[in-house]
Each structure stands twice: as structure tokens, then as C-alpha cells.
Amino acid sequence: MTETLPMLAVLGGTGPEGFGLAVRWAAAGYDVTLGSRVAERAVEKAAELAAMGKGWRVQGMENLAAAARAEIVALTVPYVAHHPTLTAVRAALQGKILIDVTVPLVPPKVSRVQLPAGKSAGEEAQALLGDGVRVVSAFQNISASHLVNLQHEIDCDVLVCGDDADAREAVVRLAVAAGMVAWHAGPLANAVAVESLTPVLISLNRRYKVPNSGIRITGIPRGD
């Protein structure tokens, strides 16, 4: 029996991280909608994405329409746009899984850990959206340039945090489909540690003059 894949939306999908995730999921056979504040921009980037692979199911819409169409929604906007975007699409997310990829970076000091009042962006999202949305925090430490290059083997693990085990597992499956190794990393409260790794990785990149450092979990069998 053929598995029916969930329909995906990537809000902020015209940015580097969101576009990179969309590339990976479209290549894996998912129906992907790119969302943007400006519908025309989403349509333009969706056309660019569709041209990358034969038969890829991709389209672009304004964020609210994209969220309404999908079963699982990824949020990949800068932290300054986190609250406004969630507020705008709150109703469309009810009953769905939201993957929050947001890192609370505060330019220009992006190599410094900045803890928001809500402890983590993921926890802020859950508080804003309510119990009707299962928020999962993931993908914060993956390089956008690695995502968009399908020939690149991603050497950075994905830590998946969320209070609903089934929702976490759904996101783990999406990570594996995109060619990554993913781990259940506990409740959403643990997202504060995962989000905080991103400015640490930025610091490592600068100090050691490398483009994209990453993390790997050791001591657990990795499987195939």
C-alpha cells in the first residue's frame, strides 16, 4: 500500500532556510507550498523551486493561504517576524502540527545567545497558538546552503523537541525524508537549548573560518 504523504507548507519559504527545506521535501515527493507575506514573491520562488526537479509538486501563496492548505506547517521566519506571522495564521494552524524553526537571534550580535521572555521561540509559539496546535521545534542548526544542495550529505543532526510524541515522530520522519539524522530530544521546554546552539555554531564558524559547522549526537547507534 502506498503511503499518503502529508501536504506541507513553509512559511517564510522565500528565505534561505525555508527554501532549502522546501527543496529537500519537494525532492522527497511531498506536496509543498511556499508561503510569504507577499503572494507574488511566493509564486516567483515556487516557480524557481519547481524548475529544479521534474514533477515536483510546488506552489506559492500568501502565508495564511499556505497555512490553510497544509497539514504540517514549518515556520522559518526571522525572530522579529515570529509573533506577527503566528498571529496572522493562528486560526489556520488549529488542529495541525507547526514545526518552529525560529532562532531568537538579535542582530547584530547573532553569535550571542539571546533568551526571549518566553524561554524559547518554540514555547512562545505554543503559548500564542494554544493547545489546538502541536508545536514541534526542529531544524534550527542546519545550514541553508547545505539544504539547497541536494548533492551535499548533511553532516548535522536534527534535535526534535515537542510535548506530543506523535507530532515529534512526524517531524523526525520529515527530517529522514530530507536526508538527515534526527533524534527525539524531549519536551518543547528543551527547545531553549537547541535554539541556543545556533549562535554557538555561528561563533564557531567565525573563529575557525568554516562556512557551516554542525552537531552530531554520539553514543547512540545511528542505524542506516
* Residue 37 belongs to a domain: yes
- The pTM for the full model equals 0.96
CA–CA distance, 63 with 34 (Å, rounded to integer)? 8
Q: Which amino acid is at 115?
A: L
Domain holding 160: CATH number?
3.40.50.720
* Residue 220 belongs to a domain: no
pLDDT of residue 1: 45
Supply φ then ψ for residue 145, to 5 degrees. -65, -30
Verify cis geometry, omega within 30 degrees of 0, for the bond prior to 108.
yes
CA–CA distance, 172 with 184 (Å, rounded to integer)? 7
* Residue 112 belongs to a domain: yes
Could you tell me if 144 and 154 are in contact, meaning their C-beta atoms sit under 8 angstroms apart? no
Q: Which amino acid is at 157?
A: D
* Residue 213 belongs to a domain: no
First to last CA, the chain: 23
Mind listing the pLDDT tens digit for each residue in 172-223?
A: 999 999 999 999 999 999 999 999 999 999 999 999 999 899 999 999 998 6
Could you tell me if 104 and 121 are in contact, meaning their C-beta atoms sit under 8 angstroms apart? yes
Average pLDDT over residues 67-96: 98
Nearest to 10 by CA among 99, 112, 105: 99
Verify cis geometry, omega within 30 degrees of 0, for the bond prior to 16.
no
Could you tell me if 167 and 72 are in contact, meaning their C-beta atoms sit under 8 angstroms apart? no
pLDDT of residue 3: 74
Q: At CA 96, angle to CA 145 and CA 60, rounded to 5?
A: 50
* Residue 48 belongs to a domain: yes
CA R_g for the chain: 16
Mind listing the pLDDT tens digit for each residue in 122-161?
A: 999 999 999 999 999 999 999 999 999 999 999 999 999 9
CA–CA distance, 176 with 99 (Å, rounded to integer)? 15
Number of domains in the chain: 1
* Residue 217 belongs to a domain: no
- Describe the crossing of helices 16-27 and 165-177 by its angle, rounded to 10 degrees: 80
* Residue 1 belongs to a domain: no
Mind listing the pLDDT tens digit for each residue in 15-37?
A: 999 999 999 999 999 999 999 99
